[in-house]
Amino acid sequence: MSDGRGLKFGTVAESYDRYRPGPPSETADLLGDLAGLEVLEVGAGTGKFTRPLLELGAIVSIVEPDVDMRRVLVRQSPEVLVLEGRAEELPVVESSFDVVVSSSAWHWFTQPDATNEFARVLRDDGVIFVLWNGFSRDVPWVAELTKFRQRPDDVNARPRGWSAKFDPDGSFVDARDVSLNWTWTRTIDEVVGLFGTYSGAIIQSDENRHTMERLVRERLNEHVGEGVVDLPMTLRGTTARRRPR
């Protein structure tokens, strides 16, 4: 049974916006020309992905269930249409968007409800982007570091995604997986702050969270000493086209 952690990010909304990574600049090539297009971002959080969408000229609406996350997003991007809602029941009309985006949120959605809703609100031949932006887990020392994000006995841990799966006979066609490696240079303090924004850390006691922070700091000190750390990162996921009705 879920412990509701997907709706607890608002308790660390300011830290989330400060420490979580935005997408690398190369993401613009993946998204293509968005100028003037109606784009819906679902599970937008504090707007880490929203702001680059705006920079690419998109007309952006977002759906986010957490009021504290929305508050930060509105402060950063007041021009965005902000809607309260869930991926499984989007508060928008059918065939109203050219592009729908989910960034580092798809694994929290109930399927197939969310997939069906994305298909409902997309116009014919509209594009879906389901993306995750995080550590390159194929790098051994990074994979070892990520284990500190949650307790080993955490039965409610939600595995983070690599790609989305669509029924080949369903509403989406031309699905393809995408992957973009990049490097994120951070101080050790910033990486420790980042770890405090993960769901597995949010639900822990203060004592356990402080232990996690100490272990992350020790491991990073072993790896880079007192300097900054170049974190291997990967933006990965799946894109597809809405089959004409």
Q: Which domains does the chain have, with CATH numbers?
A: 5-137+155-183+228-242 (3.40.50.150)
- Residue 149 — very low, low, confident or very high, per pLDDT cuts 50/70/90? confident
Percentage of the chain beyond pLDDT 90 is 80
| pLDDT at residue 7 in the model | 53
Q: Please give the backbone phi and psi of residue 242, each rounded to the nearest 5 degrees, phi first.
A: -75, 120
Nearest-CA neighbor of 137 among 114, 106, 160? 160
Does residue 185 register a pLDDT over 80? yes
Lowest-confidence region among 85-89, 203-207, 235-239: 203-207
Determine the straight-line distance between the first and last CA of the chain, rounded to whole angstroms: 36
Mean pLDDT along residues 65-78:
96
Q: What is the pLDDT of residues 99-133, one digit of tens each?
A: 999 999 999 999 999 999 999 999 999 999 999 99
CB 232 within 8 A of CB 179: no
Strand order in the sheet with 38-42: 81-83, 59-63, 38-42, 97-103, 122-135, 229-242, 172-186
202 vs 50, residue with greater confidence: 50
Mean pLDDT along residues 193-205:
86
Nearest-CA neighbor of 98 among 67, 129, 68, 65? 129
Q: How many CB atoms lie within 10 A of CB 8?
A: 14
Could you tell me which residues come within 8 angstroms of residue 124 by beta carbon, excluding any fewer than 6 positions away? Answer: 95, 242, 243, 244, 245
Task: Give dist(CA 136, CA 192) in Å, integer.
Answer: 17
Q: Is the pTM of this model over 0.85?
A: yes
| pLDDT at residue 21 in the model | 97
Mean pLDDT along residues 76-88:
97
- Residue 5 — very low, low, confident or very high, per pLDDT cuts 50/70/90? very low
Percentage of the chain beyond pLDDT 70 is 92
Q: How many residues does the chain have?
A: 245
